[in-house]
Structure formats: structure tokens, C-alpha cells
């Protein structure tokens, strides 16, 4: 006789959108938009049930110069997740994946981030003109 499982319903992992997966999606979008001139690097660290992700924009053609854009932290429960905009100092708290995506968009679409992206793109153009 097989014992009845007393475990909760375990969600399908393909249905869970984590902060890091959404950050990787946006990294792929930036690479496509800039035709590979700009890419992202997402550095992960974890300590005592806290997970931290730092997203930087990287310029491969400029010796992998990088500029940190944001930091995200969360515990094992994933939400709430805290987002910190490295340029403005603004902090956000997301209680679910929809809030996270909205707040991630606020940071990635901010004037500070736009100026960084424009400046890095200009540096790439200047470097290719010098060659």
C-alpha cells in the first residue's frame, strides 16, 4: 500500500517568475536593442537565506567596462523583493511578480538609466570611429 502524500500542492516551476529571471529577460532585450553593443551582467550572491542580484550594463568593445544599474534582494520566499536604483538611490518593494516588473521598468526606464545607456552607446561609437 502506498502512503498518501500530505505535501501541499507544489507549483510548476515553469510558472514561477523570479526577480532574477525577469532581470535576465531584460538583459536579453537590451542586447537585442543595441545589437550586442551593450549587454548585461547579473552577479548573484547569497548569504543566510538572502539572495542578492546586481545588474550591470557591460560594454564588450570597451574592455568590458561596466556600470551597475540596480540591486535586488529577497529571501527564500522570493517576495517581497527589494529593488535599489544605484544611480538615484531610490528603493522599491515588490510584493509579487507584477509589482516587481513594474518597478524594474521604473528603474530601467528612468532618466538616469537612459543617460547611462546613451553615454555608453556614444562611447562605443567614438571607439569605433577612432579605429
Q: In angstroms, what is the C-alpha Rg of the chain?
A: 18
Least confident of 1-5, 35-39, 63-67, 77-81: 1-5
How far apart (Å, rounded) are the C-alpha atoms in residues 46 and 56?
18
Cα 113 to Cα 10, 85, 87, 129, distances in angstroms:
38, 9, 8, 24
pLDDT at residue number 17: 85
What are the structural domain ranges in the chain?
Answer: 18-130
Which tens digit of pLDDT belongs to each residue from 99-127?
Answer: 999 999 999 999 999 999 999 999 888 77
What angle do the packed helices 19-33 and 97-108 form, to 10 degrees?
40
**Tell me: the pLDDT tens digits for 4-42?**
888 888 877 777 789 999 999 999 999 999 999 999 999
> Looking at residue 24, what is its pLDDT?
97
Phi, then psi, of 110 in degrees rounded to 5: -70, 160
How far are the Cα atoms of 8, 54, 129 from residue 109, in angstroms, in the given order? 39, 17, 28
Rounded CA-CA distance 107/79 in Å is: 18
What are the grid coordinates assigned to 76, written together? 527564500
The 10s digit of each residue's pLDDT in 43-57 is 999 988 899 999 999
- Residue of 111, 60, 66, 64 lying closest to 85 (CA atoms): 111
What local confidence, expressed as pLDDT, does residue 59 receive?
Answer: 96
Amino acid at each position: 500500500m502506498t502512503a498518501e502524500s500530505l505535501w501541499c500542492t507544489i507549483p510548476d516551476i515553469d510558472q514561477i517568475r523570479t526577480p532574477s529571471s525577469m532581470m535576465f529577460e531584460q538583459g536579453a532585450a537590451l542586447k537585442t536593442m543595441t545589437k550586442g553593443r551593450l549587454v548585461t551582467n547579473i552577479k548573484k550572491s547569497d548569504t543566510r537565506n538572502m539572495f542578492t542580484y546586481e545588474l550591470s550594463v557591460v560594454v564588450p568593445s570597451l574592455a568590458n567596462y561596466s556600470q551597475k544599474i540596480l540591486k535586488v534582494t529577497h529571501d527564500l520566499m522570493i517576495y517581497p523583493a527589494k529593488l535599489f536604483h544605484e544611480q538615484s538611490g531610490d528603493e522599491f518593494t515588490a510584493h509579487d511578480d507584477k509589482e516587481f516588473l513594474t518597478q524594474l521598468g521604473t528603474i530601467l526606464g528612468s532618466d538616469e538609466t537612459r543617460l547611462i545607456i546613451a553615454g555608453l552607446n556614444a562611447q562605443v561609437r567614438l571607439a569605433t570611429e577612432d579605429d
